[in-house]
Structure 1
């Protein structure tokens, strides 16, 4: 019997679940989305995941979780758009939806054979299958309203990864106040991120197009997709488009840093038109797709209160395991004596936030960065703020991904 987890539209899910036992399969998880299934994958421990190919189901987070655990993944695509979505993510096992068990199981390499006589302690080495072994990481930088320093942190973090030799994409997905272009002194008459969204909508976003629309910055390997110059252009950054762009960036660059807006409001709840575009969709899509989320708070009574009010909403959206809290502008003049200890105590007591990374407020260093159009790490490499950003990059650096060893429970028959 094969343990299977499902993340499908309800009608397809019910059809497969009703017919699973007859084909020798056991359903161990039924989820409404890919990110939800990714969080439940360890507990459910399936041998096979069947999901829809729409971004709601086939999410980068689910792909990564399946790869880390050596779980085979099959996507069911309803039309060419969903097939393109799967192709951008590099998934090989894609079937036309709807599909029955007869089609799904052979697509994973053959039928499952029970090894009744096998040694239960024997293990096999399971390596990721179904897509390219190396995919880039996406790091989203978010913070509540009130200018906690999201853009400054995003720029500094991307530049630090670039200085370490990685090709880095810095994308501005802020639909309320895009600021990366002016902060770096870049022209933004033709916003790169909006152009990428238009290309992905037409199925034309390739590595060559990204090379064309991303602006280089400095002498390193940092490439910038500038944000929309006028906030009224926010409908160009739809959720599906943003997810598609980030999926393409994973294949283009080892590291992508995304600057997002502050609001986490699900504004479809405020509208009767459920198909209308949503202004916060770009932020929500970027946070859901990110491997890690850098949540930036401002180290003053107002900034900390704002952060704590929405911190629970953020954890509900992305899960606590992916969030790194960064407290910016730490200074005694706004907090009092021992500002670092006071910030840590406040976050731990009222938000359960442990081990935040603190960035000291160095006005001269950040002013020098703005004046020269450079990241703070380049403008003032010896500043305490630059040292904190380097520590943040160390925390976010990926560990080598070893092959996953799992108990031998079935063999693939050719």
Structure 2
């Protein structure tokens, strides 16, 4: 049976001749629709009438999300570029197109590649009602890798709903790591209420992560572009601000954010990401993998992180939320083994010795040890927030700042300020 093919190579002088040659000769392929743009191509793919798409690199609005949606529809993609246009070929590969050919390839060679692309499609992955369908699929091994992967470590700072202090911990870790001479990039990926820009006194209308994700989706994000989008707070600390308004969350797609993290690994030694709390999926969207998913960014960051810090509050309500959140994390992203950090520790909300009681409760009900206890220091955090500065700047002797400095050394893998080297435990479960 002939492979059913869509084409989307409008504007190319060789398009008509190629389609005619494929139709006139028995190459084992049949062109069932000639699309004029990405929107028509995606609509055609959703009908299930085609098995492959033949497209050109200069197709307007072609990005990683479009390629991912074609893959989700079971459509293999083959790209065509003008002969000798290596930049266009690299862009297609960066978008996730595995098979790229020069446009002067003989029709039988193009047809053979289309058949091979269809035969080599990966098996069906996550179901359309699976919340993990929001995650970007791994890039196939056949994609040529032009650049070496970055060595930077990604630390996701996540935790349950409420105010356990995710942003306080994120900003403190990033600032202290930079002061320990570790090249650090702080990213605000909270799609519900990111406030890193406000906490640091930065302009929250800057493009930030949304701008980086747009460039990544278009295949144009590189180290230089990422540096232009990030605020240089100090020589060793850059900040990629988040969304100025929560209703702009559809601008952050999982594939774009995943590409930003990949580029960030090449630009910094440590990447600290302030995540949203929510891992749930919207039931109204669960039957449409093409629809944007608000929590897809959080899932993507948690999957990509080398270390996931779960920030918990230190009162009974916060601890109950943490225990439930850890169970949800285990069910939703089972490969992640979080490192628990208890914030705002003080006497009063928990009877007796708060550290011992909290540690025993989390061990008993969640099966997790506590890696660090961060003391409550309201005076220091209020002063930092009022000035739009960090704890190290307004309260260098704060006990909270001291503990954040030690935790930063641990997650960055550098000698602690007062003792030797120590590493946070493995992120993923064995086996």
TM-score of the two chains, using structure 2 as the length reference: 0.63
Give the Å deviation of 1:262.
Answer: 0.6
Q: 1:377 aligns with which of 382, 389, 392?
A: 392
Q: Distance in 1 between matches of 2:264 and 2:382?
A: 31
Q: Distance in 2 between matches of 1:297 and 1:78?
A: 47
Q: Distance in 2 between matches of 1:135 and 1:77?
A: 30
Q: 1:84 aligns with which of 88, 94, 101?
A: 94
Q: Distance in 2 between matches of 1:318 and 1:130?
A: 30
Contact 1:163-1:220 at 8 Å conserved across structures:
no
SS at 1:172 equivalent: strand
Q: 1:203 aligns with which of 201, 205, 219?
A: 219
Give the Å deviation of 1:225.
Answer: 0.7
Q: Distance in 1 between matches of 2:242 and 2:352?
A: 39
TM-score of the two chains, using structure 1 as the length reference: 0.65
Give the Å deviation of 1:386.
Answer: 1.3
Q: Distance in 2 between matches of 1:237 and 1:303?
A: 28
Cα distance per residue 1:62-113 (max 9 Å; x no partner): xxxxxxxxxxxxxx996577721579xxxxxxx994687xxxxxx99xxxxx
Give the Å deviation of 1:398.
Answer: 3.6
Q: Distance in 2 between matches of 1:77 and 1:379?
A: 55
Contact 2:308-2:336 at 8 Å conserved across structures:
no
1:145 matched to 2:155: no
Q: Distance in 2 between matches of 1:288 and 1:314?
A: 11
Cα distance per residue 1:216-255 (max 9 Å; x no partner): 11x3411111111111100000111111111111111111
| Count of aligned pairs | 297
1:164 matched to 2:192: no
Give the Å deviation of 1:274.
Answer: 2.7
Q: Distance in 2 between matches of 1:344 and 1:254?
A: 31
Change in CA separation of 1:324 and 1:130 when aligned onto 2, cut-off 3 Å: farther
Q: Distance in 2 between matches of 1:329 and 1:348?
A: 19
Q: Distance in 2 between matches of 1:137 and 1:85?
A: 23
Q: Looking at CA atoms only, which structure, 1 or 2, has the larger radius of gyration?
A: 2
Change in CA separation of 1:320 and 1:205 when aligned onto 2, cut-off 3 Å: closer
SS at 1:276 equivalent: coil
Change in CA separation of 1:199 and 1:130 when aligned onto 2, cut-off 3 Å: closer
Contact 1:299-1:330 at 8 Å conserved across structures:
yes
SS at 1:171 equivalent: strand
Contact 1:172-1:226 at 8 Å conserved across structures:
yes
1:361-376 aligned at under 5 Å gives the runs 361-376=376-391
Cα distance per residue 1:247-292 (max 9 Å; x no partner): 1111111111111111011336754333110011111111111111
Q: Distance in 1 between matches of 2:250 and 2:338?
A: 27
Give the Å deviation of 1:210.
Answer: 1.1
Q: Distance in 2 between matches of 1:390 and 1:262?
A: 24
Change in CA separation of 1:166 and 1:394 when aligned onto 2, cut-off 3 Å: closer
Higher relative contact order (CA 8 A, sep 6+): 1
SS at 1:132 equivalent: coil
Q: Distance in 2 between matches of 1:78 and 1:193?
A: 30
Q: 1:212 aligns with which of 228, 253, 262?
A: 228
Cα distance per residue 1:274-323 (max 9 Å; x no partner): 31100111111111111111110110010000010110222344457642
Contact 1:268-1:278 at 8 Å conserved across structures:
no
Equivalent residue number for residue 224 of structure 1: 239
SS at 1:160 equivalent: helix
Change in CA separation of 1:273 and 1:157 when aligned onto 2, cut-off 3 Å: same
Q: Distance in 2 between matches of 1:228 and 1:321?
A: 26
Runs of 4 or more off by more than 6 Å in structure 1? Answer: none
Change in CA separation of 1:139 and 1:269 when aligned onto 2, cut-off 3 Å: farther
Equivalent residue number for residue 273 of structure 1: 288
My pick for the range that moved more, 375-384 or 182-191, is 375-384
Equivalent residue number for residue 199 of structure 2: 183
1:294 matched to 2:309: yes
SS at 2:215 equivalent: helix
Contact 2:155-2:306 at 8 Å conserved across structures:
yes
Q: Which runs of 5+ in 2 are unaligned?
A: 1-63, 66-75, 80-88, 98-112, 121-141, 415-420, 422-431
Q: 2:271 aligns with which of 256, 279, 284?
A: 256
Equivalent residue number for residue 426 of structure 2: none
Q: Distance in 2 between matches of 1:157 and 1:78?
A: 44
Contact 2:153-2:412 at 8 Å conserved across structures:
no
Q: Distance in 2 between matches of 1:198 and 1:339?
A: 45
Q: Distance in 1 between matches of 2:77 and 2:291?
A: 24
Equivalent residue number for residue 360 of structure 2: 345
